[in-house]
């Protein structure tokens, strides 16, 4: 599965977006989804420098394609208090990682599918309200 219970953090406390990205990458590393944390972090930050990944709706979706990703994943953090992500407040952060070798634009498919669901007020509210990992996994299984 692209996300599992160990890739979900309901109590994220981050100093800034760089800290949030680094901690989500660390979760993915622990789950053996990433080989090298530093190289993947640099890929995500390079993408972030091109254009902010804060979408509005209190959501940011940083992402990266890199050969250091061994298995596609989505890691999620829900913040108790909003934080600034460039010029927007966010409470939900989704980190997407895919291998660079995936030639089928997998990262774009994941990003589009996730974005489509996150603009739905009900879907987003469930994510913001729940503290049940299984409920989150059920929402993602319906993609």
- pLDDT at position 23 is 96
What total number of domains does the chain contain?
1
H or E element, residue 128: helix 121-129
Determine the Cα–Cα distance for residues 119 and 121; give it in Å rounded to an integer: 6
- pLDDT at position 143 is 66
Give the pLDDT confidence of 84-143 residue by residue, as tens digits.
999 899 999 999 999 988 767 887 888 889 999 999 999 999 999 999 999 999 988 876
The residues annotated with a catalytic role in the active site are 63
Domain of residue 117 covers: 5-141
Tell me which residue of 50, 44, 56, 137 sits closest to 92, measured CA to CA.
56
User: What are the residue ranges of helices labelled H in 2-105?
Assistant: 17-30, 37-50
User: What are the residue ranges of helices labelled H in 1-120?
Assistant: 17-30, 37-50, 106-118
Tokens 């108790």 belong to residue: 80
pTM over 0.85: yes
Which residues, in sequence order, are CB contacts of 111 under 8 Å at separation 6+? 61, 63, 96
Q: Could you tell me the CATH number of the domain that includes residue 66?
A: 3.40.930.10
Task: Tell me if 5 sits within 8 A of 31, measured CB to CB.
Answer: no
- DSSP helix/strand/coil, 136: helix
- What's the start-to-end Cα distance of the chain, in Å? 11
């Amino acid at each position: 599965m692209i996300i599992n219970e160990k890739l979900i953090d309901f109590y994220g406390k981050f100093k800034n977006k760089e800290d949030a990205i680094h901690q989500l990458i660390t979760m993915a590393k622990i789950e053996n989804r990433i080989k090298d944390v530093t190289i993947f972090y640099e890929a995500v930050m390079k993408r972030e420098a091109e254009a902010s990944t804060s979408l509005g709706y209190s959501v940011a979706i940083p992402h990266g394609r890199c050969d250091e990703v061994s298995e596609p994943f989505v890691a999620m953090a829900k913040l108790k208090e909003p934080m600034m992500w460039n010029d927007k407040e966010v409470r939900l952060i989704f980190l997407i990682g895919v291998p660079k070798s995936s030639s089928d634009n997998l990262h774009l498919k994941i990003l589009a599918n996730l974005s489509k669901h996150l603009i739905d007020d009900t879907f987003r509210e469930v994510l913001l309200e729940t503290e049940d990992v299984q409920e989150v996994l059920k929402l993602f299984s319906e993609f």
